Amino acid sequence: MGSPELALSDFSLHSVCVILGRNQKLALLDQFVADLFVHGRVAMFALAGADVQNVTADMQMQRLDFDDAYQYVLAKQHDLTFVSFDTDFDRTDLPRHRPAQVLAALPPPPTGIQT
């Protein structure tokens, strides 16, 4: 198995976990995690505690709220292609790719695999 081509921040994973947990969707949460990390090849990235200072600096410089600045700093640190619905990222120096753009660029699934 090669290196993952998809990445997710720990912040995003934990946000989904909070929402699904709060709504008592624990089986769905387990399936989500399995789909990403057990059956899928999604990497997860996190910022070190000291990097929070970079987050707060970018909150001011890029005019982002905390969660957006966290994603921004993480993407910059790991040279990730940024995929988001959030138009707040359009005012940063990091190009934002919409999910539809990324999905359209993916090769078709191998024959015999249903999506």
pLDDT at residue 3 greater than cutoff 60: no
94, 80 Cβ separation under 8 angstroms = no
At residue 1, the pLDDT reads 39
- For 68-114, write each residue's pLDDT tens digit: 999 999 999 999 988 999 999 998 999 999 989 888 887 877 776 55
At residue 108, the pLDDT reads 79
**CA dist 81 → 53, 85, 87 (Å):** 22, 13, 15
89 CB-side CA count, 13 A: 20
Ordered by where they begin, the domains of the chain are: 6-105 (3.40.50.1010)
45, 70 Cβ separation under 8 angstroms = no
**CA dist 51 → 46, 71, 73, 77 (Å):** 10, 12, 8, 10
Indicate the SS3 state at residue 109.
coil
- For 28-80, write each residue's pLDDT tens digit: 999 999 999 999 889 999 999 999 999 999 999 999 999 999 999 999 999 99
